[in-house]
Amino acid sequence: MAPSVVSTQPFAGQRPGTSGLRKKVKVFQQPHYLENFVQAIFDTQPELRGGTLVVGGDGRYYNREAIQVILRMAAANGVAKALVGRGGILSTPAASCIIRKHKAQGGIILSASHNPGGPEEDFGIKFNGPNGGPASESLTEAMYARTQTIDRYLTLEAPALDLDRDGSAPLGDMTVQVIDPVSDYAALMEALFDFNAIHQLFNTGQFRMRFDAMHAVTGPYAKEILEGRLGAEPGTVINGTPLPDFGGGHPDPNLAHAQELVAMTQGHDALDFGAASDGDGDRNMILGKAFFVTPSDSLAVLAANAHLVPGYQAGISGVARSMPTSQAADRVAAQLGVECFETPTGWKFFGNLLDARRITLCGEESFGTGSDHVREKDGLWAVLFWLNLLAVRRQSVADIVREHWRRFGRNYYTRHDYEAVDSAAAEGLVDHLRRLLPSLPGQVLGGQRVAYADDFAYTDPIDGSVSERQGVRIGFEGGSRIVLRLSGTGTQGATLRVYLEFYEPDPGRHDQDTQEAMRPLILIARELAQIEARTGRGEPDVIT
C-alpha cells in the first residue's frame, strides 16, 4: 500500500480556539476539510513520524468516520503505531493518561466537549503533545499557519478497520492497536485514591449517590470504577451509554443542563451526593444534598484537603486557576504557603506549570478541576477526590464547604453567558470596555472603589511566552471582581461571558442567595459593558 498524495486547497478559519478546532459537523464533512487540518498536525509534528499516536473521541456523531480518516493519514505520514480506544472511545483525561503511560509522541482527540452532537451540531479535533496536554498556543498557531498554505495531504487507499475488537492489525506500515479505553485510566485512579475507604462508604448503605454521564463518554468509565471497582449499587451511573447525539441534550454538567440530576439532590428523598461530567469527560459538577459546589470553591476545598488523599498526602507544591475563576483557591494557597498562579482560560496554560512541578492542582470556573496526574482536566478524578474526602471526613458535602467558608471566607461567584450574540456587536462591546479601562481605577461604582482595570495578559513563568488580550478584569478594593471575555469554543456567533465575584468574610452572611447577593455587581457589569444596548439581550441565556 503506497501512500497517495491528494491535492487540496486551504480553508479559511481553521484556527483552533480555547480547546481545539470546533465547527459544525457539516463543515467538517466538506471534502478535504478534516484532512487538511490533520495534515497540518503531521506537518508541524515531525516527532510523530516513526512514533506512537493515540486516537479516540467522545463518541459523538462523525467520531468513527473521522478516526478512520485519521488512521489512514497517520499510516501514510509514517506513524509507526496507533493506539485507538475500542469503539473509537477515549475520554479526554483517559487519552492524556494513555499518551503518558505509553510514552506516545502525541494524541488526536475528537470532541467538541460540552457542545451538542448530531448531524446538525458540533464536532471538534484537538492535538495533545507527548506530555499528554493540549498543544500550546504557539503550536496551535503553527498548525493554523500550515492550514493556510496547505496544498496536499497524504493518505492510503484502505478499507475501514474494525475498531470494536481489542487487538492489533496492520494498516500499511503502521500497526493499529485497539485498546480498552478504561483500564489504564481506572488503574491510575486506583493509585491516587483510597478505594477501600470509598468502598466502605458505599457499604454503609447510608450513602446514596448518582453519577450522570449525560449520554456522553464517561458512562463506561464511571460504570467500571464506581459500580465495578468501588461497589456502588447498580444504577448509580445514569445516562451511562455514550450516544452520538448525547440523547439530544447539551452534555454540559451545570445547573442549567443537568437538571435531572439536580432534582435528585433535592426534596424529601434527596441523594447525599450527585455528580456529572461533560461530553468528553473532563468537566465535573459536584452536588450535595440540596447543595451546589461552585467549581471555584471545589478547587479551593480540594487544595485545602489534598493531604487527606493518598495521591497527595505529601502536600501540594502549588495551585493555579484560570483568570476568571474565583480567588477562593488563592486564600488556601496563601495559608498553605504555596505558590498560586493566575493563567488565561484554557487547560493548555497549566501544562508548563505542571511539567515544572510548580503546581499540583489546578482548575477553572467552567467545571474543570485537575492535577499533575494527567495534563487535562479530569471529571471523574474530581468526583473520586470528593468521594475520598467524604469517606475520610465523614461529613456531608454542605458541611465540608460551609466549614471551608468559615475558615477562609466565602467567594460568592456566578457566570452569566449571553450566547449566539452577533459577532460584530460582541467585538464592539469588548472594544468599548477596553477603551474604558484607563479611566476606571479610582472610580466608585455602586459604592465600591475600582482598584485596577486591565485586559489580562499572561507571561508564562516557565517559557516566557506572552499571551495578551485574555479578558477584561475590573477589580475592586475588598476583592470583588467583574471579568468579561468572549468564548473561544462556540460555533455560532459570539458568546459573551460575564464572570462576577465578591468576597464575604463574615460567616453570618454566608447563606445568602448567590444571584441576590451579586445583584449590585451584576448591574454594574451590565451598565459598564452596555450589554443590552449593544447585544439586544436583557438577560443572560445561561447562569451558572
By beta carbon distance, the residue nearest Co ion is 113
Residue 278 lies near Co ion (rule: CB under 5 A): yes
Find how far residue 544's CA is from the centre of its chain.
15
Question: Position of cell 500499511?
Answer: 172
Residue 378 lies near ligand VG1 (rule: CB under 6 A): no
Separation of alpha carbons 98 and 90, rounded Å: 9
Cell of 230: 468501588
Shortest Å, Cβ 296 to Co ion? 17
Shortest Å, Cβ 325 to ligand VG1? 8
Query: Which lies closer to ligand VG1 via its Cβ, residue 283 or residue 473?
Result: 283
For ligand VG1, which stretch binds (CB under 6 A), given 189-197, 229-237, 305-313, 486-494? Answer: 486-494
For ligand VG1, which stretch binds (CB under 6 A), given 100-108, 187-195, 362-370, 396-404? Answer: 362-370
Residue 282 lies near ligand VG1 (rule: CB under 6 A): yes
Task: Tell me which DSSP letter residue 459 carries.
Answer: E
Residue 282 lies near Co ion (rule: CB under 5 A): yes
For ligand VG1, which stretch binds (CB under 6 A), given 42-50, 220-228, 361-369, 435-443? Answer: 361-369
- Cα angle for residues 113, 280, 16 (degrees, 5° grid): 40
Q: Which of these, 478, 476, 383, 485, lies nearest to 434 by C-alpha position?
A: 485
Query: Which lies closer to Co ion via its Cβ, residue 35 or residue 278?
Result: 278
Query: Which lies closer to ligand VG1 via its Cβ, residue 36 or residue 345?
Result: 345
Residue 208 lies near ligand VG1 (rule: CB under 6 A): no
Task: Tell me which DSSP letter residue 17 carries.
Answer: B
Considering only residues 121, 278, 372, 501, which one is a binding residue for ligand VG1 as defined by CB under 6 A?
278
Task: List binders of ligand VG1 among 2-31 (CB under 6 A).
Answer: 18-19
The number of residues making up the chain comes to 544
Q: With contact defined as beta carbons under 8 Å apart, do 360 and 372 qualify? A: yes
Q: Which of these, 218, 175, 186, lies nearest to 84 by C-alpha position?
A: 175
Residue 298 lies near ligand VG1 (rule: CB under 6 A): no
Q: With contact defined as beta carbons under 8 Å apart, do 249 and 290 qualify? A: no
Shortest Å, Cβ 279 to Co ion? 6
Considering only residues 35, 194, 212, 280, which one is a binding residue for Co ion as defined by CB under 5 A?
280
* Active-site residue, 113 included: yes
Find how far residue 231's CA is from the centre of its chain.
28
Separation of alpha carbons 532 and 544, rounded Å: 20
Residue 113 lies near Co ion (rule: CB under 5 A): yes
Residue 96 lies near Co ion (rule: CB under 5 A): no
The item of ligand VG1, Co ion, none sharing an interface with residue 504, based on CB under 5 to 8 Å by kind, is none
Could you say which of 19, 91, 96, 113 is catalytic? 113
DSSP H or E segment with residue 431: helix 423-436
Q: Which of these, 110, 127, 140, lies nearest to 23 by C-alpha position?
A: 110
Shortest Å, Cβ 58 to Co ion? 8
Considering only residues 208, 410, 497, 526, which one is a binding residue for ligand VG1 as defined by CB under 6 A?
497
For ligand VG1, which stretch binds (CB under 6 A), given 230-238, 433-441, 481-489, 505-513? Answer: 481-489
Tell me, letter by letter, the H, E, C secondary structure of 467-479: ECCCCEEEEECCC
Query: Which lies closer to Co ion via its Cβ, residue 3 or residue 134?
Result: 134
For Co ion, which stretch binds (CB under 5 A), given 7-15, 109-117, 414-422, 462-470? Answer: 109-117
Using only C-alpha atoms, the chain has a radius of gyration, in whole angstroms, of 23
Shortest Å, Cβ 539 to ligand VG1? 19
Tell me, letter by letter, the H, E, C secondary structure of 89-156: ECCHHHHHHHHHHCCCCEEEEECCCCCCCCCCCEEEEEEECCCCCECCHHHHHHHHHHHCCCCEEEEC
- Cα angle for residues 382, 354, 304 (degrees, 5° grid): 45
Cell of 1: 500500500
The item of Co ion, ligand VG1, none sharing an interface with residue 19, based on CB under 5 to 8 Å by kind, is ligand VG1
Residue 366 lies near ligand VG1 (rule: CB under 6 A): yes
List interacting residues with ligand VG1 (CB under 6 A): 18-19, 113-114, 278, 282-283, 322, 345-347, 364, 366, 368, 487-489, 497
Which positions are catalytic? 113
Q: Which residues of this chain interact with Co ion, rule CB under 5 A? A: 113, 278, 280, 282-283
